[in-house]
Chain A
């Protein structure tokens, strides 16, 4: 499968723990996005990279969230001190010039 790949697919964690998700974009795509989706809502923008530079961050992204894209390839999204409100599907997408291609997502459940 040469599409966008996200790992893990599911993550259950206890409140207060840190979690890290990984996204491998389509190889020639220089743009990478993270979105969060909760039940009944559309994807909400979190952050955007062009190559290794993080160019945009949503106000939704509190200081407990951090994202990196070293060397402009894969990206990681870390959530520190997780809260129950962080439970959601975290989507990664990549793009070159036009449409965004999405991964399957990582479903986070904070208990």
Chain B
């Protein structure tokens, strides 16, 4: 069965510090991986997806198939990065369902 885990419910860092949000997945097929972000009182929105290999708002994530991980990183956190972050995988067989992790709340302190 498909599963996404995010071990940290809450991560607090100081402004300017590096941040890494961990994500691991299990899926027998070849998944697509995504990071979604939810700012306060806003809808879930895509932050980045592994196939585009873009850097969005200074965030990057590399898919490591050997470790089945897709950790999200940013070298210098900003206060406006404070939000809920959800890692998700999209199944590629049949229905293309999106499976989400439980989320990590990032708090960037001044």
Q: Measuring CB to CB, which residues of chain A are less than 8 angstroms from any residue of chain B?
A: 3, 31, 33, 35, 40-45, 48, 50, 55-56, 91, 93, 95, 98-105
Contacts and interface: CB of A to CB of B under 8 A. Distances in A.
Contact of A42 (B34, B45, B86, B90): B86
A55 B96 CA distance: 10
B82 to A, nearest CB: 17
Contact of A56 (B9, B49, B95, B100): B95
A56 B97 contact: yes
B6 to A, nearest CB: 8
B100 A55 contact: no
Contacts of A43: 44, 86, 98, 100
A33 B43 contact: no
18 contacts: A3-B43, A31-B96, A40-B9, A42-B86, A42-B101, A42-B102, A42-B103, A43-B44, A45-B97, A48-B95, A55-B95, A93-B44, A93-B98, A98-B49, A100-B98, A102-B45, A103-B43, A104-B43
Contacts of A44: 100
3 smallest A-B Cβ distances: which pairs? Answer: A42-B100, A102-B44, A56-B95
Contacts of B88: 42
